[in-house]
Chains A and B, each alone.
With several copies, the nearest count.
Chain A
Amino acid sequence: MIELTTNPIDPQALLARVSSPAAGAVLLFLGTVREMTGDRQTTRLEYEAYEPMAGKKLAELVAEARSRWPLVGCAVMHRLGSLELGEVSVAVAVSCPHRAEAFEAGRWLIDTIKQVVPIWKKEVWSDGQTDWVHPGLDAPRSTSGREPH
């Protein structure tokens, strides 16, 4: 189960997908929209993807995780569009016979998703400024000045 969606992510759906009597351990990671970054306040986040490539890369990462760990089930969803505070932006669920594998595979998946899958978030700050988040660039790219949108 790999999905890019503009609808809210239901963690229960991912858990149902990976649950199995063959598994003794289920690990679910959720990325959620945090309000404060340092002393700046976020109003919402906007996610966009290069969708065909994002879907392909997610499928490749799930296949690689399956080759490296004894995954019983694996489900990844990423939200796109506009997200309110507290909403789930990304969900990774894995199930394995034992817990060490589940923690390792889950951690590797979310870390690698954040490194290679072409998805971007834009911070919409409470003062109306917006910044695309591009890790490694010196300064955030303010692309709309002070106009709220």
Chain B
Amino acid sequence: MIVRCRLFAAARDLAGHSEVELAMAEPATIGDLRKQLAAAFPALAPLVPHLMFAIASDYVTDRTPIPPEAEIAGIPPVSGG
């Protein structure tokens, strides 16, 4: 399946895209996405272990399965305030 993941801040700048698309084998988890992101975007790789992920605006873990058409975001450590 095609998985789309939004990226922000340094993650976006390092990947060079605010949204990336990855072709993933099903079933896939967020942990699988993390691995493929690092492989597909070497400049992003050092930051990937520090990303949190969200599906539909809720934080999820590496064990969370990725549903079809999921609204996924890769969230580097936040610094609002």
A-side residues, CB < 8 A to B, are: 31, 47-50, 52-54, 56-57, 78, 89-90, 110, 113-122, 132-137, 141, 143-144
Contacts and interface: CB of A to CB of B under 8 A. Distances in A.
The size class of the interface chain B forms with chain A is: 20 to 34
A113 B80 CA distance: 7
Nearest to A120: B9
A143 B13 contact: yes
Secondary structure type dominating chain B contacts: mixed
A17 to B, nearest CB: 20
Interface string B53-74: 0100111000000000000010
Contacts of A90: 80-81
A78 B80 CA distance: 8
Secondary structure type dominating chain A contacts: mixed
Nearest to A140: B10
11 contacts: A48-B9, A49-B80, A114-B78, A115-B78, A119-B78, A121-B80, A135-B79, A136-B77, A137-B77, A143-B10, A143-B14
A77 B59 CA distance: 22
A50 B54 CA distance: 11
Contacts of A121: 79-80
